[in-house]
Structure 1
Amino acid sequence: MEASGSCKGCKKNSLIRDDVTGSLVCSSCGLIQPFDNYDPQLGGLNGPQGTFVRVGTAGTGSSLNYKDKKIFEAQKLIDDLMFKLGFSSEKSNEVRTMVSTITEGEFGQGDWFPVLVGACSYVVRRRSNRALPIAEVGAVIGCDVYELGRMIGRVVEFLNLKLPELDIVNSLELAFSKMWEFE
């Protein structure tokens, strides 16, 4: 099979492609030509495909695509935070449903997501007339009270909820019970 171009050594137009290696070889002097096997990876019918990286997976050793991995990690984070806050499985499912409604089933990753989960957990607890201090939620998720309070306001506004009045007696009982735990 003839190839166009001239040999870099003898300058003759006698280049042929080697059947085994695919490299260009001069039939006159036998010099293997510099690499010319450029194969652009433009993609196929299913979209772009990389040479060394499989497009569409979540990383090394993972069989989940990006969206499934993101949802899996979000569910894992929700479960972890609900365990740390002492929520029952029923209340955890309420929080999960609330987060799913707000994010339209996409969940999320990043610094904002634990704050959203914390805000939803606070709203769920308040809707069931049980006290949960914002400071406690903030300590568990690792954010300040101001940021968490803003997110709680956004959650309540987005879902058109009306939180019940804060039960001061319940809040004081919770505070006193927490105080006696430390002694």
Structure 2
Amino acid sequence: MRKTLLGLVAVGLLSVGGSALAFEPIKPIITIDPAIIANFSKNRCEKAVVKIGERLNKIEKYQESHMVAYQNLVDRLTALAERLKLKGYDVATLEADIVVLKEKIQSFSTQYDTCKVDVEELKDWDCATKHGDFKDQVKANRQCLKDVHLASKAVRSYYFSQIRPDIKAIRQQQAESN
């Protein structure tokens, strides 16, 4: 029994080890016609241009919704400051915050506009003549959209980190005056 078991183990090891040593990978030689590669790049560029047109529509829609929301925020804060000022509360910090908020919103809007212009340039891209720089332009556009996202986050974080605490301080002022 032992001899047969040892024999089977030895045969198994030799068969696996021997086949591993005998295997020599064959390196395939593949040649691709450069015309096929150029055609592939052109088709890929044309499909990307179509998607960029769709992205431009999304950018315009989102910019409009962001600007409506931000304008609503500024209007509500301005109305709150006016109401509190009429009641006799000190709202100088809130008014200063509104000015800074408007600057941040303006910065966001200008960044969005520059990105929109870049996307419009990509939408009208001529894939037949300028296919080499397309990828770099798309990467630059992605980075621009990331910067727009950061500007949007800056507006939101400024509201929560500066304006909300100032409104709470005005509420405390209200509680102390009553």
Per the normalisation by structure 1, the TM-score is 0.28
Greater percentage in helix? 2
Structure 2 length normalisation: TM-score?
0.29
- Computing the radius of gyration from Cα coordinates, the structure with the larger value is 2
